[in-house]
Amino acid sequence: FSSMFSERLKIELSVMKLLYESDCLEKKKDDIMKTIGKRIWELKGQPERNILKDTIIMDALGEIERINSDIDATKNKASDISGS
């Protein structure tokens, strides 16, 4: 019984760690979104400027896509672990 309990506890801790990692990635994504918002604010007086082609914004959008992929992978790992 104790070995089964120990194994289940390890699984639960692993899931909690993965969910914490997912939350940290979400916070990082929020910070990047703030960067995008600030950059848009800086560019608002330049109507001739294409905001989506701004390098800072393009880099931030790419980083958000990568983080979203990492979040999905982390949540899938947590789901796989908790299902076992």
- pLDDT tens column, 21-52: 999 999 999 999 999 999 999 998 888 888 88
Instruction: Return d(Cα 22, Cα 37) in angstroms, integer.
Output: 23
Cα within 13 Å of Cα(24), Cβ side: 8
Classify residue 26 by its DSSP letter: H
Q: The pTM is what?
A: 0.81
- Confidence category of residue 84, pLDDT binned at 50, 70, 90: low
Tokens matching residue 51: 């905001």
Of the two residues 1 and 28, the one the predictor is more confident about is 28
Q: What is the mean pLDDT of residues 2-17?
A: 88
Mean pLDDT of 66-70: 97
Q: At what angle do helices 55-83 and 2-43 cross, to 10 degrees?
A: 160
d(CA 24, CA 76): 16
